[in-house]
Amino acid sequence: MAKVKSFVNNPYQENTYILFDETGECVIIDPGIYTATEQNVVTNFIADNNLKPVLLLNTHCHIDHVLGNKFVFDKYGLKPQFHEGELPVLTAVVSYAPQMGIRYEVSPLPDTYLPETGSVKFGNTTLEFVFAPGHSPASLCFYDRVANILIGGDVLFRMSIGRTDLPGGNFTQLMDNIETKLFALPDDCTVYPGHGPETTIGFEKQNNPFLS
């Protein structure tokens, strides 16, 4: 069964995730890896656990979630995969990164885009796509039904939701996707968000001030 390791990276305190299972294959999701120290922590974890990265996934392509895409490509030969609707979001990063005072190594572009529905596999693990735009134009969450975990990007946070004031954001759309798609998952599903601590679907149904 898949396990999750999280790393808090970059000035935006973004959560980078590694999912791995008993086969040793792993997937890197939203590498916000920025400094050399952050690079070392992630690569050491992979090496120390004899893991083999086979996929690089982005839930969405805001700057804090793609800062390490180029590093992962250089280190492991993996190009990112995300929904094609995020491509304008990614290509915009290079123009606004300097204004944010952020050094950005330009991400490679995907060979393969992810659809709204479907799944990807690594090792013995299947990640199902949950298409949940609203924070960004084409956000995907990744659901492991066996482990009952959701890598949620910036859709749903513990006691909060993703901001919708950035280009391509839509508050009504975000709320609708959380309520119809994420809240359809089991109450005991653990949600690993793009920022902050993990939570569960049931906890957010009961306690999230935006939704309860």
User: How much is the pLDDT for 191?
Assistant: 98
User: How much is the pLDDT for 210?
Assistant: 97
| Burial (0-12, 13-18, 19+ Cβ within 10 Å), 132 | buried
User: How much is the pLDDT for 212?
Assistant: 73
pLDDT level of residue 128 (50, 70, 90 thresholds)? very high
> Which domains are seen in the chain, by residue range?
3-207 (3.60.15.10)
pLDDT level of residue 109 (50, 70, 90 thresholds)? very high
Residue 97 clears pLDDT 80, i.e. is over it = yes
Percent of the chain with pLDDT over 70: 100
The mean per-residue pLDDT over the stretch 133-158 comes to 98
pLDDT level of residue 44 (50, 70, 90 thresholds)? very high
The mean per-residue pLDDT over the stretch 171-196 comes to 98
User: How much is the pLDDT for 149?
Assistant: 98
Q: What is the pTM of this model?
A: 0.98
